[in-house]
Amino acid sequence: MDIIKVIRYFHLKANFENLSWINKFFLIIFLVSLIFNLIPHEAQAAFLIVKDYKPILVFDSSSLDYTDYLVQISQEATDRYYQLQMQQQAQKQVLLAEKIQNYLESYNSPLADYAAALITMRNWKTIISLANAESSMCRKYPISTANCWGVGGSNLWDMGDNLAQGIISMNHFLNKYPKGPVKYSQMSFEQMNGFYKQPARDHWVYNNQKIYDELAAIEQNL
Per-residue pLDDT of the chain (222 residues; tens, 9 = 90+): 444 444 444 444 455 566 566 666 665 666 555 555 554 444 444 444 444 445 544 445 556 676 787 788 888 888 888 888 898 889 999 999 999 999 999 999 999 999 999 999 999 999 999 999 999 999 999 999 999 999 999 899 999 999 999 999 999 999 999 999 999 999 999 999 999 999 999 999 999 999 999 999 999 999
Contact 104, 123 (CB under 8 A): no
**Model pLDDT, residue 79:** 87
**Model pLDDT, residue 5:** 45
Angle between helices 61-106 and 202-220 (to 10 degrees): 140
158: helix, coil or strand? coil
- Cis before 178 (ω within 30): yes
**Model pLDDT, residue 62:** 57
Radius of gyration (C-alpha) of the chain in whole angstroms: 50
Query: Measured on CA atoms in the order 149, 150, 152, 158, is the torsion positive or negative?
Result: positive
56: helix, coil or strand? coil
Contact 195, 180 (CB under 8 A): no
* Nearest CA-CA partner of 145 in 112, 135, 177: 135
**Model pLDDT, residue 195:** 94
pLDDT digits (tens, 9 = 90+) for 124-139: 999 999 999 999 999 9
From residue 50, give the alpha-carbon distance in Å to each of 47, 105, 128, 136, 184.
5, 89, 84, 94, 80
Distance of CA 161 to the CA centre of its chain: 42
- Cis before 199 (ω within 30): yes
Contact 166, 159 (CB under 8 A): yes
**Model pLDDT, residue 46:** 45
**Model pLDDT, residue 106:** 98
Residue 169 neighbours by CB under 8 Å, 6+ apart: 146, 157, 159, 160
**Model pLDDT, residue 37:** 55
**Model pLDDT, residue 4:** 43
Can you give the pTM of this predicted structure?
0.67
Q: What is the DSSP string of 201-217?
A: -HHHHHHHHHHHHHHHH
**Model pLDDT, residue 125:** 99
Distance CA 188, CA 73 (A): 47
